[in-house]
C-alpha cells in the first residue's frame, strides 16, 4: 500500500482582492511623487513678479496700519500713544497697552471700522491701571 499524504487545508493566497483595495492608493502615491519630481522651477520673471507683489502688499498693509494709528491718536477721549498697529492680510493686530477697558474696546472698534480690515486681534494689548501692569487684555 502506498502511503497517501495527509490532507492539508490549503487556501489560495487572496492576492487579487488585497491588491485591488490598494491599487488606487498606490496609483495616487506614484502620481504624486512623479508630479513633484517634474515640477519646473519658477522662472526669474515669475519670481520677480512675486517679489514685487509682496512688496506692494506690504506697502499697502503699512499704509492701512498707519491710517489705523492716525485714527487711534485722533480720538479725543482716549490716549493711544502706547498702542502699536500691524496689519497682516486684512487682520489688524494691536499691541502695547491702554489705561482702561473702555479704551481697549474703543481701539478695537476704531480698527475694525477701517476699510480693508476683516478682523482685529488685541490679545497682545495689555491693560494697565494706574501705571500697574494687570496682564494681557482678553
The conformational region for residue 121 under phi > 0 = left, psi -120 to 50 = alpha, else beta, is beta
The conformational region for residue 123 under phi > 0 = left, psi -120 to 50 = alpha, else beta, is alpha
Span 35-49, pLDDT tens digits: 665 666 666 666 766
- Asked if pLDDT for residue 114 goes beyond 60, the answer is yes
pLDDT at 47: 72
Q: Which CATH architecture has domain 68-128?
A: 2-Layer Sandwich (3.30)
pLDDT at 36: 64
Spans of all domains in the chain: 68-128
Span 47-105, pLDDT tens digits: 766 677 788 888 889 999 999 999 999 999 998 989 999 999 899 999 999 988 899 99
pLDDT at 19: 54
pLDDT band at residue 32 using 50, 70 and 90 as cut-offs: confident
pLDDT at 137: 54
pLDDT at 119: 95
Q: Are 101 and 127 in contact (CB under 8 A)?
A: yes
- Asked if pLDDT for residue 130 goes beyond 80, the answer is no
How confident is the model over 115-128, as a mean pLDDT?
A: 90
The secondary structure of residue 2, as a DSSP letter, is P
Amino acid at each position: 500500500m502506498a502511503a497517501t499524504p495527509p490532507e492539508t487545508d490549503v487556501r489560495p493566497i487572496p492576492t487579487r482582492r488585497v491588491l485591488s483595495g490598494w491599487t488606487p492608493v498606490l496609483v495616487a502615491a506614484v502620481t504624486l511623487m512623479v508630479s513633484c519630481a517634474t515640477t519646473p522651477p519658477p522662472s526669474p520673471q515669475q519670481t520677480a513678479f512675486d517679489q514685487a507683489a509682496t512688496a506692494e502688499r506690504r506697502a499697502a498693509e503699512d499704509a492701512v496700519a498707519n491710517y489705523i494709528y492716525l485714527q487711534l491718536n485722533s480720538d479725543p477721549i482716549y490716549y493711544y500713544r502706547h498702542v502699536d498697529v500691524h496689519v497682516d492680510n486684512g487682520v489688524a493686530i494691536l499691541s502695547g497697552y491702554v489705561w482702561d477697558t473702555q479704551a481697549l474696546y474703543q481701539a478695537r472698534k476704531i480698527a475694525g471700522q477701517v476699510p480693508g480690515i476683516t478682523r482685529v486681534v488685541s490679545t497682545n494689548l495689555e491693560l494697565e491701571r494706574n501705571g500697574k501692569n494687570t496682564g494681557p487684555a482678553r
